[in-house]
Amino acid sequence: MLQGRLSEETEVRVAASTVWEVYRGVELGKLVDQLLPDVLGRVEVLQGDGGVGTVVKLTFPQGTPGVGYLKERFIKIDDEKRVKETETFEGGFKALGFHLYRVRLEIIEKDSESSIIRSTVEYEVDEEHAANVSFVSTKALGIMAQTVGTYLAQKINAEHQHDPNCA
């Protein structure tokens, strides 16, 4: 059995609490749908309201290698540590012979106006499917973090420009 872990950190100019509000539940999927349908695909909530046990289906963009979709379950949401974990249970890497494919998203406060989004993938796969490890990447998670961070920063700036109380 092969086990591995990949991690990527993306700094964003948005407060950790603001980023966490998006990342903790189903809002992240809605933003992916809106901002990255051609990169990450379409996200659909199949069950739940964004808490532990929520099930989402991600349908990959046309031309993505593999089975074309994955279903994952939210297995951990820690508001204090700003950590969310999901596990794929159908499609995606499960269809490629992986026993475990877990994504951990962590929002780390840098200062009052910036934070770091740490995206980690953990996996376990049999020796016979070891070649499929080459498909494991945090690239899509990094693109998602950068895009969501930029979107939130622009949204905050726009709100401040329209607020007469902000100088």
pLDDT tens for the chain, residues 1 to 167: 999 999 999 999 999 999 999 999 999 999 999 999 988 899 999 999 999 999 999 999 888 777 799 999 999 999 999 999 999 999 999 999 999 999 999 999 999 999 999 999 999 999 999 999 999 999 999 999 999 999 999 998 888 776 566 54
Please tell me the chain's helix, strand, coil percentages from 3-state DSSP, rounded to the nearest 5. 35, 40, 25
110 is annotated as an active-site residue: no
Report the alpha-carbon angle 78-79-84, nearest 5. Answer: 45
Q: How many CB atoms lie within 10 A of CB 163?
A: 9
**Per-residue DSSP letters for 132-144?**
GGGG--SHHHHHH
Domain boundaries, the chain: 2-161
Annotation: CATH topology of 2-161: Alpha-D-Glucose-1,6-Bisphosphate; Chain A, domain 4 (3.30.530)
One of 84, 110, 139, 155 is an active-site residue; which one? 84
